[in-house]
Chains A and B, each alone.
Chain A
Amino acid sequence: MIDEILSRASKVSDSAEVFQVNAAETPVSFETNRLKQITTRQSKGVSLRLIRNGKLGFATASGEVKPQDLVKRAAEAAEFGAKAHFELPASYSHREMQIFDPEVEKLSQDKMIGMGQGLIDSVCAHNSELKCDARVVKAVVDVNIANSRGSAANYKKSIFHIEVEGTLIRGTDMLFVGDGDTSCNPVTDYRQIAGAVIEQLELAKENVSMPTKILPVIFTPHGVVSALLSPLVTAFNGRVVFQGASPLGHRKGEKVFQDNISLWDDATVPFKPSSRPWDDEGIPSQRNSLIEKGVVSNFLYDLQTGGMAKAKSTGNASRAMGGMPAPMASALIISAGETSLEDMLNGMEEGLLIENLMGAEQGNVMGWDFSGNVLLGYRVEKGKVVGRVKNAIVAGNIYELLRDGVILSKDSRWVYGHLSTPYIYVARLSVAGKG
């Protein structure tokens, strides 16, 4: 079918590219400590991008594809489309990458049910009042790309995901705890996940209030995701940079952050769910340094944005929801530091340990301001966690936060396979509390 689309498209365009994804996904879902639903998702999608008279046209079809219709719609769109600032690659890379484990495909539904129930049971053994939802998911994705210049490539990826979310209700007080992991291998040992959730339950035993003042704060790896991930992803997006809307766009080569901070994007780490041999335009994946010892070093580009910005594609094209390729981070890694979490806490006379900040990604992300409710966080006094903070909101600016006074823990971890980060200590954050 790909050949038929390309041959029809070639007749009405200068060049054309077909991108096809076939996927099979099986989530096993638990609700309130019990197995609730087994799902199978079969999906087939194809998209055609063509360049006609120097302009881009794009059309997609899920399910039934009529090649003639797809080509007609893409050609129509090209009439009004954006000017193409790139050429389709003359050849695609065929390198191997470790992202497929046949064990994922082989996992039986019974085994998955056993894992989910086992995870719930080990968390509930710690607190029998806890009500848990859980998900165990296996998926296999088959990705094909081909273009009218005669090049084609294919890869297959397996994904395994396991997570648990517990709710503990006392009166109208609700506590939400949870953790999980995503990988291209089956995660058969869920003890670490259960252990992390149990630790959250232990730290959150007592509720305490928070004063309104400027305080030092430690973000746990989950806390980093909830507070910092979306502003960072936005600021290093080459498209945002090219439009002049990134707070870092004009600062490449400048030292903007404290020199212990390095950040890179890497889609080549074996068996991570974001890894891939090439991006959604067939450009080979690579490790892209974004912050090198506090200095802004590069941004993330796809072919079109790279062409407009007179930069090279960094292999970061992504077609979220079957749309046009756009630059997007794949897997971000924040450098680890040298301090243990204990020492970080010990140095804290009064402060806050944040595990989950709610609503932080919904503010002025481009302006690098963030603000959110401390959904799960703990008050720290004289180096010790004294209880769970309720009714508190924090607000700050990423740039001011990471400029100085930052301490990074020596241990870091992957959060759902998309970000690897240490605990991050920041010296000053505005906290507003009730009562």
Chain B
Amino acid sequence: MKNKNIDTQEQLTSILSTTQAEYMEIRLEESETTRVQYRGREIEDIVSSTAVGGNVRALVKGGWGFVSFNDIDRLKEWATLAVNQAKQTGKEASSFSFLPPVKDRVNLEKVKKDPANISLSEKKELMDQYNEVIWSIPGIQTSIVGYADGQKHVTFANSEGSFIEQSRKDVSLRVSAVARDGGEVQQAGLSIGSKGDFSKVENLHSQVKTTAKLAVDLLSAPKVKGGEYTVVLDPVLAGVFVHEAFGHLSESDFIYENPQLKEIMTLGRKFGGKHLNIADGAAIPGLRGSFTYDDEGTPSTKTYLIKDGILVGRLHSRETAAKMGEKPTGNARAVDYRFAPIVRMPNTIIEPGQASLEDLLKGIVEGVYVKNWYGGTTSMEMFTFSAGEAYMIRNGKIAEPIRPVVLTGNVFTTLENIDAIANDLDMNQGGGCGKGGQFPLPVSNGSPHIRIQHCLVGGR
């Protein structure tokens, strides 16, 4: 994919080298997306989309001007507008980490199966099979099978002289099974994503079947009584937990201009026990959130947020890093050309400990075992996350299934309450993160099984 209408590099360089802004960047993006969705027994839609667009961002005296557009041939005009808007905004000295220029081209990673080489009818055929699997389970009321793949080519250039081209692919599958009995409706879901490898969404028939059975089983499951419980989280839900409960708080755009928050997030503050280690980064290879350069042209890194229970790092854009006197971490991301980059997580991980799942369950007289996810959200201090599956724990054993639950807590006490971490790290690649109206951003998160004491569970 290459837009032939503009001699990109030359034109960008000419605009950027003459800008009146202290810093200016231009991103141009071309993308293609294919979506296949079943709802019920029938196919609902097959959609093919293309987009060509871009943006200009300019910094003047601490103020930003941002212009996004579809009319690429009016680029010069947009650049002038962005500078004027920045001038109108800026009133003080800018804080921005300037970086050495980078000239690079990042090609698509080699994958086992490229969705571009797979025909639409083959994709449809696979979704057909998954849908059939769901409908083979008695008690199913309806199903949703949604598949999407996309490819994106981004050209980034800035007034420091960087010129970076990056291509990326994304594949995602979301399967929902809905069961009904009279007025009772229950659903169960499965989300899989990959950085462009179609083979990751193949051969999932038995997992789809388990999901459909779960939806039916939930109809007869009782609701838990609301209150505080000892909970054990499976790796998938623990991944969502670390993303919501701690990851978002580590995004420095929330902290950097607020003195009270800076104090709360002072490096060296104890957040958890010695066994707690949390890292995040796009430089961890092979994951859905991985990339080489972020959307400000900063090379990706892996950043420890918590080491041995102590706060040791956080996620930065070039502006937040400069304001806080720290190094950029390559975490400025934009969901697409319509948005300015903001601080985001790519891949967030609780590192494995020594224990087994059995060790975690041991000694729990009455607790809740939660698996899988519907979603999660955070206010920074408070977070909620909802399980896709839940079971009572009785006398150290996983016992009867219960209706899926929503768990909530306060990040400053809950991390302290993680008292055991297992050794079975697993990654959840099916998530899409939303922040500041930018959704869904491909992310991954992962963890081993973890145990949390005194966790608040909503229920009857």
Chain A residues near B (Cβ < 8 Å)? 31-32, 34-45, 56-64, 69, 73-74, 76-77, 79-83, 109-110, 113, 131, 167, 169-174, 176, 212, 239, 242-247, 322-324, 358-359, 362-364, 366-369, 371-373, 375, 390-395, 399, 430-432, 434
Contact = CB atoms under 8 A, between A and B. Distances in A.
Nearest to B257: A32
4 smallest A-B Cβ distances: which pairs?
A: A359-B384, A362-B375, A432-B226, A63-B52
Contacts of B13: none
A80 B457 CA distance: 45
Interface stretch (B38-46, B99-107, B197-205): B38-46
Given A36-B89, A57-B46, A82-B45, A176 B260 contact: no
B456 A434 contact: yes
A172 B381 contact: yes
Given A244-B142, A395-B226, 10 more contacts: A37-B65, A39-B340, A40-B68, A59-B48, A358-B382, A362-B377, A373-B383, A375-B379, A395-B460, A434-B454
Interface stretch (B184-192, B346-354, B394-402): B184-192
13 contacts: A35-B89, A36-B64, A77-B47, A169-B261, A174-B379, A174-B380, A245-B178, A323-B35, A362-B376, A367-B185, A367-B186, A371-B459, A430-B458
B183 interface: yes
B88 A81 contact: no
Interface string B335-351: 00010100000000000
B236 to A, nearest CB: 15
A62 B44 contact: no
A76 B456 contact: no
Contact of A44 (B71, B82, B86, B386): B71
Contact of A245 (B35, B180, B406): B180
A243 B384 contact: no
Contacts of B49: 59-62, 322
Q: Among B91, B187, B454, which residue has the most Cβ atoms of chain A within 10 A?
A: B187
Interface in B370-395: 374-377, 379-386
B286 to A, nearest CB: 28
B282 to A, nearest CB: 24
A171 B264 CA distance: 7
B70 interface: yes
A242 to B, nearest CB: 8
Contacts of B67: 39-42
Grouping DSSP codes into helix (H, G, I), strand (E, B) and loop, the B interface class, with mixed when no group exceeds half, is strand
Contact of A62 (B36, B50, B228, B404): B50
B459 A430 contact: yes
Nearest to B377: A359
Contact of B45 (A38, A79, A323): A323
Contacts of B163: none
Nearest to B87: A38
B51 interface: yes
A37 B64 contact: yes
B374 A363 contact: yes
A21 B5 CA distance: 23
Contacts of A62: 49-53, 70
A372 B410 contact: no
B329 interface: no
Contacts of B226: 212, 393, 395, 430-432
Contact of B377 (A61, A109, A358): A358
Contacts of A60: 47-50
B65 A38 contact: yes
B85 interface: yes
Given A43-B338, A64-B52, A323-B45, A393 B456 contact: yes
A59 B47 contact: yes
Contact of B46 (A80, A172, A359): A80
A24 to B, nearest CB: 10
Given A40-B68, A60-B47, A367 B408 contact: no
A172 B142 contact: no
B460 A430 contact: yes
Q: Among A42, A74, A110, A358, which residue has the most Cβ atoms of chain B within 10 A?
A: A42
Contacts of A109: 85, 88
Interface string B117-145: 00011001000000000000000011000
